[in-house]
A = this chain, B = another copy of it.
Amino acid sequence: MLRSLTPETVKTLSKNQLNVLCDELRATICETVLKCGGHLASNLGAVESTVALFYTFDFPNDKIVFDVGHQCYAYKILSGRGRQFSSLRQTGGLSGFPKRKESEYDCYDTGHAGTSVSAAIGIAKARDLKKESFEVVAYIGDGSFNNGLVYEALNSLKILNTRVLIVLNDNGMSISPTVGGMHEILSGMDKEKAENVRLLEQFGFTYMGVKNGNDLEEMLDAMDEAKNKLKTGSVLLHIVTKKGKGYEFSEEHPTNTHGVPPVGAIKEREYSEVFGETLCALAEENPKIAVVSAAMKESLGLEKFFSAYPERAFDVGICEENACVLCAAMATQGIKPYYAIYSTFLQRAFDEIIHDVGSMDLPVTFCIDRAGISGADGETHQGVFDLSYLSMVPNLTVIAPKDTEEFKKALRFSATYAHPLAIRYPRAGKIVFPDDGAELEVGKWEYHHNAGDAASVTVYAAGERNLVVAMKVLKNLQAKGKEFNVVNARFVKPLDMRLLRSDRSKHIVTIEDNVLLGGFGSMVNTAVMGLGKGQTVRNFAYKDEFIVQGSVGELQRKYGVNCAEIEEYIAELI
């Protein structure tokens, strides 16, 4: 059926045909995600409700905003992207998230949690202002519903005086199981929940519940009723679904199958594994160590820590700001908190990094996974801004370790460091470099390859990926009889001014896994300019653009961190 399906034909199908359609959608999603990687369990659970939405509403005239976007696959297929679906998350292929530039059916890009209700309200208000008539839907999971931004949006519905439908897809999970007081208020429908109704009615919503959101008939009826109610006011349609529905392994392992790699993909999780193990070891020595995560403890490598030290391990749900302030507050009382998070999500706590951790100079350690280009998730998930937004914060020290072994050293360094500290690292470690055995000292770099005083070029590389690039270029040029220095600039802030001052090379090259603006190279430029030795600096860093989906290697080449180009540049200098 999918092969001949158009967005228009969905509305002409019988209920039996719609049930078949659900089965086919589920099969297509499974097949594609196992091949391309992607978000499996969340998308499987959303099939019936998505079909009901598509059957009932009139997209793209009506608008839908998927929170985060982990539940938009069925919608993508239904909205005319079935044939391209096998290109999911591939270079040049369909995005795993809603993208305006991909289809007129996608009205708002998402990727981070909690934006959908605000976005729906904003779109609805724009409709009112323009005196147009269409309906607006926010589709949000119960994990995202914990996020403070959702609460701000609910709170503003009456202020903006408009109408939206929120579909709250309650599968009891974010990536990890959903936690917290709001979840208890809204979760499940097995007991009397009169207070839910009252709560939501005070925010301006009519509350509706569907006990089995994976039952297509129930969903079609409820969606029809919701659409009618929406004529006169906002509706919150609370549906209970099964994450991973229809794929037995996924139903039983919803966390492990939330996001899955392609079948046959090499498992590369060294940094998170090293993180979990090392932090456990440190915590055994130091009872003051605690860890806070925002709904991602498994993918951050923290499962063992949560098992071994449950009283010191806190998963606060998708509440990045709260996690940061909790860390700051615990640090004021002599606890040693570690805030583990992906680079792109830490952006949500930027103000708290400055206002709470930075300005009080508190010893909170940020362990920042998926730093640099993160690959197939695309624009909304690249961790390419952290060196910039962290380095500007007074009192904060930033480390980019050269490999997993140096990452362990960085964690040991953190254990006694009395100030804010950020350690940023990519998903996968590929190499372990030779090691001088010394522990880290704040702001101290090392010559990773010392070509001697006569060398006219020094390459400063921040972090493993960039040191790998530098060493590859070195090897190629050494084969041609050319030599240069390579420095492991593991402290991105503070810079090693002593080493920079003593650097006699005429030409400096910086390489980083971050945007140029405000990042490592920018800081080196300022430092070199201040030293006034007339050295040139060439920065290899990402251009001032949003970085699309693709493999790390491809994207590094495309956006400005290019082995061939670096080699060519250095070869000309020597």
A residues touching B (Cβ–Cβ < 8 Å)? 65, 100, 107-109, 111-112, 115, 118-123, 125-127, 129-130, 146-160, 179-185, 195, 198-199, 202-204, 287-288, 290, 311-312, 314-317, 319, 321-322, 325-330, 332-335, 347-348, 350-352, 354-356, 358-360, 379-380, 385, 388-389, 391-392, 394-395, 515-519, 521-523, 525-526, 528-529, 532, 534, 536-537, 539, 544-546
User: Using Cβ atoms and an 8 Å threshold, which residues of chain B touch A125?
Assistant: 314, 326, 330, 335
B107 x A332 contact (CB < 8 A): yes
The distance from the CB of A248 to the nearest CB of chain B, in whole angstroms, is: 30
**Cα of A121 to Cα of B326 in the assembled complex, Å:** 7
List 5 contacting pairs A-B, 8 Å CB cutoff, sorted by A.
A109-B360, A119-B329, A122-B329, A122-B330, A148-B148
A119 x B184 contact (CB < 8 A): no
A152 x B322 contact (CB < 8 A): yes
Q: Across chains A and B, which 3 residue pairs bring their CB atoms closest together, nearest first?
A: A148-B148, A122-B329, A518-B518
- Knowing that A118-B325, A130-B335 touch, tell me 15 more A-B residue pairs with CB under 8 angstroms: A109-B360, A122-B327, A122-B328, A125-B335, A153-B322, A155-B322, A156-B326, A160-B314, A347-B351, A347-B355, A348-B351, A359-B380, A385-B392, A389-B389, A518-B518
User: Using Cβ atoms and an 8 Å threshold, which residues of chain B touch A316?
Assistant: 152, 155-156, 159-160
**Cα of A391 to Cα of B519 in the assembled complex, Å:** 11
The distance from the CB of A61 to the nearest CB of chain B, in whole angstroms, is: 12
**Which applies to chain A's interface (DSSP): helix, strand, loop or mixed?**
helix
CB closest residue in chain B, given A292: B122
B123 x A332 contact (CB < 8 A): yes
The distance from the CB of A447 to the nearest CB of chain B, in whole angstroms, is: 23
B356 x A126 contact (CB < 8 A): no
User: Using Cβ atoms and an 8 Å threshold, which residues of chain B touch A107?
Assistant: 332
**Cα of A309 to Cα of B181 in the assembled complex, Å:** 39
B385 x A329 contact (CB < 8 A): no
**Cα of A289 to Cα of B249 in the assembled complex, Å:** 51
CB closest residue in chain B, given A101: B360
**Cα of A96 to Cα of B352 in the assembled complex, Å:** 20
**Cα of A351 to Cα of B350 in the assembled complex, Å:** 8
Contact check: which of B130, B181, B314, B352 meets A155 at CB < 8 Å? B181
A181 x B152 contact (CB < 8 A): no
CB closest residue in chain B, given A385: B392
The distance from the CB of A434 to the nearest CB of chain B, in whole angstroms, is: 32
Q: Which of A179, A185, A203, A351 has the most C-beta atoms of chain B within 10 angstroms of its own C-beta?
A: A351
**Cα of A108 to Cα of B355 in the assembled complex, Å:** 11
